[in-house]
Amino acid sequence: MTTEQTRKLIVLAAIWAALIFAPYWMVPLGGYTALATRVLVLGLAAMSLNFLLGFTGVLSFGHAAYFGLGAYGAGLTLKFLAASTPLALLLGMLLGGVCGGLLGTLIVRRRGVYFAMVTIAFGQVFYYIAFQWSSLTGGDDGLRGFSRQPLDLGLFKIDILSSANYFYFFVLFCFALAVGAMGFILRSPFGRTMIAIRENERRSRFLGIPVERHIWIAFTLSCFFMGLAGALYALVNNFADPKGLHYSQSGDFVMMAVMGGMRSFWGPLLGATVFVVLQDYLSSVTVNWMSFVGLLFVLVVLFFPRGLLGFLQRSKA
């Protein structure tokens, strides 16, 4: 094993150790378990967007639509279909992923700002549907009247999700599954092809790679992961509202990915951590908290083009 591989293993072990023990070390530092849970969920959402942006080179400003669809899918399942948390997560993920896959067939031939604008347009369509269809979604008041349910194992039920710590570990388990799937895909030949398209799309076409098909698959997979993040977010709050589908939420995800480092796998998680912790602290101090987060984002873009994680890696090298 080379020195570089050993260093990567140590960093990976440190990341997972920090995530596993987060409920225990955050509280003495002034945090709380629910904050760590939000970091995981929004970190998964940022990594889902970065699966498309950082590794395929395609920017979507409408990915919050699939985040919100995942949240509504989970909430509607628990409220009207079945009191099953796993089923709610599955159907929320499917709703976000299937809608993303269907719309992806219409937009994969667009590039650059045109791709971004079309994704915003479709995202806003879902936003206004959720906003206006108040009989089903609750409109501007949001979808209420559901809550995460005990895990049903057939012969007996385990009521552990009502505890903040146990729910955190449940979300961490789902996060690990999704991140493991992302890592497996990115290390596969398909993942290498995604990176080739990002680096030089024209050369990839000359090599005979069906670029549109690969971008569509990457877009669809990203929407599935985003739908899972949205479903988890609905369980965190026991609530879903149209703001989760708005393009401003997509902007937050883009900020998290870019701030942390969109060319790295774990960068968006670091960006989400900084974003969520600053939001939680600054919003208790001033209503203009977004100005400070925006200033930090501008400084990162200007002085750390590889993001915070890229800066940390370079300083250790």
Q: Is the confidence at residue 53, as pLDDT, over 70?
A: yes
Q: Is the confidence at residue 317, as pLDDT, over 60?
A: no
Q: Is the confidence at residue 47, as pLDDT, over 90?
A: yes
pLDDT digits over 60-115, tens only?
Answer: 888 999 999 999 999 999 999 888 899 999 999 999 999 999 999 988 888 888 88
Name the average pLDDT for the chain. Answer: 89
SS3 238: coil
Enter the pTM of the model.
0.93
Cα(157)–Cα(146) distance, integer angstroms: 18
DSSP per residue, 93-134: HHHHHHHHHHHHHHHTT--HHHHHHHHHHHHHHHHHHHHH-H
Whether 33 and 27 have beta carbons less than 8 Å apart is answered as yes
pLDDT digits over 270-299, tens only?
Answer: 999 999 999 888 888 888 888 888 888 888
Structure tokens at 80: 């009207």
Structure tokens at 244: 């989760």
